[in-house]
Amino acid sequence: MKPSELWKLSSSEFNKYRRENDLKNLFEVFEKKLPLFNEWLESHKFSIDFILSTDKPGSFFYGLTDIILFKYENEGRIYFSFYAIEDEAHDKRLKKVKLEDNQQVFQFTPYLIWAQTKLGKKKIIPAAHSGEVDSFIFNIINAPDVPEISRNTIVPGFKVIKLGATEVDNAWALVDRNLDFADLDFLEIKSDSGSNREINILYSSCRHMKITNSEINFTTFKGCHFFNLVVNNSRMYHVNFENCDLFKVDFNEAQLSNLAIEMCSVSGISFNKVEVDNLIYNPPKEERHVNKIGTYQNVADNYKRLRVLYQNNGHRVETSDAYFMERLYEYKYNLHSMRFFAAFKQIWKVDFNYAWPDIRENFTKLWNVIADFISLLIWGFGEKPFRTLLFTLATVIIYSLIYYFSDVTAIGGNYRNCLYLSSIMFSTLGFGDYTPFATSDLKLVLASESLIGAFTFGLFIAGYANKSKY
């Protein structure tokens, strides 16, 4: 059936079609190619028919903790609800829920984390021409720029059902449909009214998706692949992206409320005339498509864009936090991207003139790392001036101990006098000609504390003055 014809089916007819066709074939591939998949089924006493009957097959694979699955009947219809166990207390609360006669409860470990633990490695899914990967990715795309004929192949090697390259004119059409493991490329959503029902979409391809003049509510994308997502003149409320690829995302004249981007690979995101309220961005430690250095660079750029977005919306606290994180990830990038050995090695392999640009770049990064570390430590890149007070306290105490253990009899051994002297030296330039130090080697120590004090007070004032720019 064509995508447009499938969307015209009722949700129950749509889900039945998928259970009996593409998903049935997909799970046959899983049985053959996913390591220990049949053992996982047996350990939880699951059958493929049972998994498909939930119309939420992706939920059996996603997550890092055990899942509690409730099965219940209401008005002759069977429903399934999945709850990830957050901690031991949450587990106990879920297990104390009293079940009625028409309810059942199951507890299971998602396949991916179960198999990764069993095999002792993260990458377990075989991928053609790619070795092994740690999640379901789309590694083969046929005719990627032709909406009518483009097709996506998901690891471990299956062409998923094509549901994109068409238009959906009602957000309610997404409700109760099984949209896991699907090709939603070039899907355009146009709906002036949003649903109030929860929607979860797992492990689907969403390239070139457009959301225009629409309202999207209570929707979560997990493990999905986005490229060139365009949101025009739309409102997104409680929309979450978890462990997704978000490459080239454009928000234009949109309203974003309670939007969460968590553990996603994000690159090329832009905001144009966007109103935002409570946007959460939690980057991963290392993105799948780049190494740790590339991750630091991408995350720094993302925080830069968020800083501008917050500033345009007048959110001063969020702007300050985004700027701090931007500078922090720039510091991490410079710190981990220095390659002095490789640069100097070029001198021996080629010559000095060839190696000089790399050497100069590495020294520039080294200087930036030193300057950024001092800035981070003393005043949090200007966004945490309270740190200067802690730095002041630490400096005064350290210098007072130096004076305490000095050989100057006038103050040595009397910590109260040493602490008083250190406080005065830090806060003023006085006591420079203090008689007991006239012939002591500690005169330079006194001078150094005075200079540090003058520098620190300047930073403290500048830090609070810096707040006014937002």
Structural domain boundaries of the chain? 3-122, 132-323, 386-469
What tens digit of pLDDT does each residue of 171-211 get?
A: 888 999 999 999 999 999 998 777 889 999 999 999 999 99
Residue 428: per-residue pLDDT: 75
How big is the chain, counted in residues? 470
pTM of the model: 0.87
Laid out side by side, the sheet with 215-222 consists of 199-202, 215-222, 235-242, 255-262, 275-282
Q: Are strands 255-262 and 235-242 parallel, antiparallel or unpaired?
A: parallel
Q: Is it true that domain 132-323 has CATH number 2.160.20.80?
A: yes
Residue 15: per-residue pLDDT: 97
Point out which residues pair with 245 in neighbouring strands.
225, 265
Can you tell me the distance from the alpha carbon of 242 to that of 132, in angstroms, rounded to the nearest whole number? 22
Residue 367: which pLDDT band, with cuts at 50, 70 and 90?
very high
Residue 102: which pLDDT band, with cuts at 50, 70 and 90?
confident
Residue 20: which pLDDT band, with cuts at 50, 70 and 90?
very high
User: Does the pLDDT at position 430 exceed 60?
Assistant: no
Residue 74: per-residue pLDDT: 81
Average pLDDT of the segment spanning 447-455:
85
Contact indicator for 362, 342 with CB cutoff of 8 Å:
no
Say which residue, 26 or 376, is predicted with more confidence. 26
Average pLDDT of the segment spanning 231-256:
96
Residue 2: per-residue pLDDT: 93
Average pLDDT for the chain: 89
Chain centroid to Cα 384, Å, comes to 23
Residue 62: per-residue pLDDT: 97
Average pLDDT of the segment spanning 128-154:
88
User: Does the pLDDT at position 464 exceed 70?
Assistant: no
Question: What is the Cα Rg of the chain in Å?
Answer: 30
Say which residue, 38 or 148, is predicted with more confidence. 38
144-148, 160-164, 363-367, 439-443: the lowest-pLDDT one: 439-443
Residue 92: which pLDDT band, with cuts at 50, 70 and 90?
confident
Residue 438: per-residue pLDDT: 53
Residue 410: per-residue pLDDT: 63
94-108, 220-234, 301-315, 333-347: the lowest-pLDDT one: 94-108
What is the percent of the chain where pLDDT is above 70? 93
User: Does the pLDDT at position 434 exceed 60?
Assistant: no
